[in-house]
Amino acid sequence: MPPAAALESQMWLFFVPVNSPQKMGKTQTFQKARLAVFRLAGWQLALTFALVAIALVVGSSKAAMSVFTGGLIGMLAGIYQAQRLLRVDAGMHPEAFLRGLWISETLKIVLTVVMFIAAIRLLRVQMVSTIIGYAGTYIVYWLALGTRYPWFETMAESTREKNWPEA
């Protein structure tokens, strides 16, 4: 196999090309899923700002900056993974979606570690405050899961209309 073809086949494992038939495209479901991702990120950012305000009152500006940094780390890594997962239509290409799930989770972990290292070395953050901000983003995830936001529904009780209002 020529080197260019080998590189192209390896890149296929990590990325779905723009012109791929496996790409979700601009379907209505895709648009709603993207909107749900950014709404979730908005709630994460809102909780991060609330935690920053508490850190300013109780702690110091350094603690508040550290909380904000931790919140951003969690939010940015989550947005990356969600956008990566929305590249492939799971119903049409489940094996590509599952491959993308594993790759995006791995890259999310690597991205998170790199951002934590950068925050520690470059910003000299307070670790406890940073972890509090980071954990805050997961509280939003857990609440979303607990309320079946918007992709979890049962056959008996469909909340699709409530979770996916028509625009």
Q: What is the pLDDT of residues 60-105, one digit of tens each?
A: 999 999 999 999 999 999 999 988 888 877 777 888 888 888 999 9
CA 9 remoteness from chain centre? 26
Contacts of 84 (CB under 8 A, 6+ apart): 100, 103, 104, 107
> Which H or E element spans position 104?
helix 94-118
Report, as an integer, the average pLDDT of 6-33.
Answer: 55
| pLDDT attached to residue 25 | 55
Q: Which residues of 40-64 are buried (b: 16+ CB within 10 A; e: fewer)?
A: bbebbbebbeebbeebeeeeeeebb
- Write the pLDDT tens digit of every residue in 118-151: 999 999 999 999 999 999 999 998 888 877 776 5
Q: Which two tokens stand for residue 86?
A: 């929305």
The CB-side HSE value for 79 (13 A sphere, CA atoms) comes to 15
* 155 pLDDT above the threshold of 50: no
**Whole-prediction pTM:** 0.73
Residue tagged 């951002």 (tokens): 115
Q: Which of 128, 137, 33 is nearest to 76 (CA)?
A: 137
